[in-house]
């Protein structure tokens, strides 16, 4: 195969662009991912004569992609902390959110895995690589890749079952927690926070659905380790200190700062209350989009005892 042939290169571009783009999103985040993906194919075209058919075209493109990502990380090493997220943080906060079964504090579970196991899991389930492609990328036999993947999945299942927060999650089919807390020294505290938030949300979910009806949409919660990271990930790197939680435009994703690091203006409990209020609003919206905005917000405030006067009466009347 001659990669400098225009038709061949165009075919490869359309065949693999989405997968290359997904790799970059997983490893670095979605910002500038499309530009970097284009850069990968430009490099591939420039170095086309170096391709000797000793591996598959995708394996070759993957190696160019990883080198491009490494180059980008080197460029930002001296930038502000919020502009330089770890591979794991980007992976967990963005793409694990598509699979409810793998959204239970994977940041804690996967940190106990070595780099090779994490890479194999990522390639198989999030880049949709075949075993042959994975074997070529990591330099192992296909049978060895299969064995390693199955052992890793078994261990991952055990890790999650051993974590206290996993068991109640199984009954909350419609709630998913994406925990992007990165403080390894405070793992116990992080798990306690996640479990408390989940239990509080479960109570609110039961109360609201008893009154309004069943929930038919997943609600996602993303917890960020500190206020600076939260601000950066929500597109407001210089956001005010009072800004500690938000409901995304999709109406079903809540982003929040960890109650362990709420910033100078908030407390542990005030962050929990902010999350509960947004959660109640999101659940109400998911159940019935026709509910007026003021009433959705009112239900959110009511659930955390922040509704008063006529608003409180209106909400109580609606929920009865």
Mean pLDDT by 10 residues, the chain (320 residues): 64 87 76 86 80 77 86 63 39 33 47 81 76 87 87 70 40 42 51 68 67 68 81 84 87 83 85 81 72 55 48 46
The pLDDT score that the predictor gives to residue 215 is 66
CA 19, CA 194: separation in Å to the nearest integer? 32
Which fold does the domain 1-78 belong to in CATH? Rna Polymerase Sigma Factor; Chain: A (1.10.1740)
The pLDDT score that the predictor gives to residue 19 is 86
CA 273, CA 51: separation in Å to the nearest integer? 57
The DSSP code sequence of 142-207 is HHHHHHHHHHHHHHHHHHHHHSTTHHHHTT-TTEEEEE----GGGHHHHHHHHHHHHHHHHHHHHH
CA dihedral over 52, 54, 58, 59, signed as positive or negative: negative
Q: Domain locations in the chain?
A: 1-78, 166-319
The pLDDT score that the predictor gives to residue 266 is 86
The pLDDT score that the predictor gives to residue 249 is 84
Buried b (16+ CB within 10 A) or exposed e, 229-261: bbbbbbeeeebeeebbbbbeeebbbbbbbbbbb
Identify the residue whose tokens are 């938000």: 246
């Amino acid at each position: 195969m001659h990669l400098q042939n225009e038709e061949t290169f165009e075919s490869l571009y359309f065949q693999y662009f989405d997968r290359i783009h997904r790799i970059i999103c997983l490893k670095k985040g979605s910002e500038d991912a499309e530009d970097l993906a284009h850069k990968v194919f430009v490099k591939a075209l420039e170095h086309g004569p170096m391709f000797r058919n000793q591996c598959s075209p995708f394996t070759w493109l993957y190696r160019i992609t990883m080198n491009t990502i490494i180059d980008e990380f080197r460029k930002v090493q001296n930038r502000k902390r919020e502009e330089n997220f770890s591979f794991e943080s980007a992976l967990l906060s963005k793409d694990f959110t598509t699979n409810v079964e793998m959204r239970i504090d994977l940041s804690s579970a996967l940190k106990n895995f070595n780099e090779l196991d994490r890479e194999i899991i990522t390639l198989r389930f999030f880049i949709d690589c075949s075993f042959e492609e994975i074997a070529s990328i990591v330099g192992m036999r296909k049978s060895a890749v299969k064995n390693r993947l199955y052992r890793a999945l078994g261990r991952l299942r055990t890790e999650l079952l051993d974590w206290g927060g996993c068991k109640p999650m199984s009954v909350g089919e419609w709630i998913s927690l994406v925990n992007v807390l990165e403080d390894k020294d405070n793992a116990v505290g992080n798990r306690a926070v996640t479990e408390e938030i989940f239990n509080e949300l479960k109570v609110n979910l039961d109360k609201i659905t008893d009154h309004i009806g069943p929930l038919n949409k997943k609600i996602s919660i993303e917890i960020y380790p500190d206020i600076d990271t939260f601000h950066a990930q929500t597109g407001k790197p210089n956001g005010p200190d009072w800004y500690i939680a938000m409901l995304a435009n999709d109406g079903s994703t809540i982003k929040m700062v960890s109650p362990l690091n709420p910033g100078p203006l908030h407390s542990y409990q005030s962050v929990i209350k902010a999350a509960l209020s947004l959660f109640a609003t999101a659940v109400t919206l998911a159940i019935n989009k026709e509910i007026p905005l003021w009433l959705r917000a009112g239900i959110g405030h009511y659930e955390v005892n922040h509704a008063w006067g006529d608003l409180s009466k209106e909400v109580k009347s609606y929920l009865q």
